[in-house]
């Protein structure tokens, strides 16, 4: 009986962890957007605080189970790539949140399951539904609608491009996490991203790392702890559920972020953004659902 119930328990655990990460990721985006507009905190500074908080949390939580093997990050090729891609993505995504608003940035980033499915097919041989190309077409239409919402030529296209690049990189990271879980601990996988975030971000942010305003510092630290817990939950969740199922659950993140940014931060969305965002999320959800059904 225990053996029969073990897989079901593991899947429930994975779903709960994934939903926890959804709430925490949403809270992080809202906190960082407010910190930027109220206290001019940059994405580079926030990324460095996130990385430092993540490493500290791993170090404290894994005292008994064994601390992450930092040296492996530089000797294991896939772990190195996961760390580098993840480390470069974090400041890029934070900048897009602060420049575009968490809702708009979240809608664009919501296309990452499409990239995760594509990379999963190319790198680890997961099969794709024949309907995939219909869904990716729908997502492209949605992205075009979101991009067109504020017009072209007013400075947003660069940040929109940054957000979509982050979505692609996020999809790749999810697939690498799914593969690395067989050989690496959750702490080591997450630490790889934190280490590279610091290596990339510190040279840029070093002159602004000291935050004098207590409230601003509190917001950044709270956001850093929130996202560290979210990332650990996400990484651990993929030990128990598939990329497709995890991607499906993560579709709640941009939707919840849009709701939160509208209610709490006063972010406004026009019809193009709402329709385009709905297309992106629907396409991402459908492809994840189709893959989960296989």
pLDDT, one tens digit per residue, over 240-280 is 887 667 767 877 888 888 888 888 888 877 777 888 888 88
pLDDT, one tens digit per residue, over 177-220 is 878 878 888 788 888 999 999 999 999 998 889 999 999 999 99
**Is residue 290 predicted with pLDDT exceeding 80?**
no
> Which residue range(s) make up the domain with 6?
2-292
For a pLDDT cut of 70, what percent of the chain falls above it? 88
Provide DSSP, 70-89: GGGGGT-HHHHHHHHHHHHH
Burial class (CB in 10 A: 0-12, 13-18, 19+), 15: middle
Where residue 155 falls among pLDDT bands split at 50, 70, 90? very low
What count of Cα atoms within 13 Å lies in the side-chain half-sphere of residue 205?
22
Provide DSSP, 168-189: HHHHHHHHHHHHHTTTS-HHHH
Closest CA relative to residue 83, chosen from 95, 71, 66: 71
**Is residue 4 predicted with pLDDT exceeding 60?**
no
Highest mean pLDDT pick, 5-9, 174-178, 209-213, 234-238? 209-213
Structural domain count, the chain: 1
Count H helices and E strands in the chain, helices first.
Answer: 12, 0
Distance separating alpha carbons of residues 215 and 232, to the nearest angstrom: 26
Q: What is the mean pLDDT of residues 153-173?
A: 81
């Amino acid at each position: 009986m225990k053996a029969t119930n073990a897989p079901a328990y593991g899947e429930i655990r994975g779903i709960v962890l994934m939903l926890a990460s959804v709430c925490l990721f949403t809270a992080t985006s809202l906190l960082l957007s407010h910190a930027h507009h109220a206290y001019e905190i940059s994405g580079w500074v926030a990324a460095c605080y996130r990385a430092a908080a993540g490493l500290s949390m791993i170090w404290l939580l894994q005292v008994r189970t064994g601390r992450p093997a930092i040296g492996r990050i530089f000797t294991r090729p896939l772990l190195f790539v996961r760390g580098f891609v993840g480390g470069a993505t974090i400041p890029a995504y934070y900048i897009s949140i602060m420049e575009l608003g968490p809702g708009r940035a979240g809608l664009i980033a919501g296309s990452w399951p499409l990239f995760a499915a594509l990379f999963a097919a190319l790198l680890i041989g997961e099969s794709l539904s024949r309907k995939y190309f219909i869904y990716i077409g729908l997502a492209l239409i949605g992205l075009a609608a979101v991009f067109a919402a504020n017009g072209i030529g007013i400075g947003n296209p660069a940040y929109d491009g940054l957000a979509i690049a982050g979505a692609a990189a996020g999809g790749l990271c999810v697939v690498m996490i799914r593969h690395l879980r067989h050989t690496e601990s959750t702490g080591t996988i997450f630490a790889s991203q934190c280490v590279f975030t610091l290596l990339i971000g510190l040279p840029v942010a070093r002159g602004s790392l000291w935050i004098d305003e207590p409230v601003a510092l509190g917001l950044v630290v709270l956001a850093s702890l929130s996202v560290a817990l979210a990332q650990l939950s996400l990484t651990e969740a993929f030990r128990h559920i598939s990329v497709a199922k995890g991607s499906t659950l993560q579709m709640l993140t941009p939707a919840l972020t849009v709701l939160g940014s509208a209610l709490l931060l006063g972010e406004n969305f026009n019809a193009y953004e709402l329709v385009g965002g709905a297309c992106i999320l629907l396409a991402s959800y459908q492809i994840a659902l189709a893959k989960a059904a296989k």
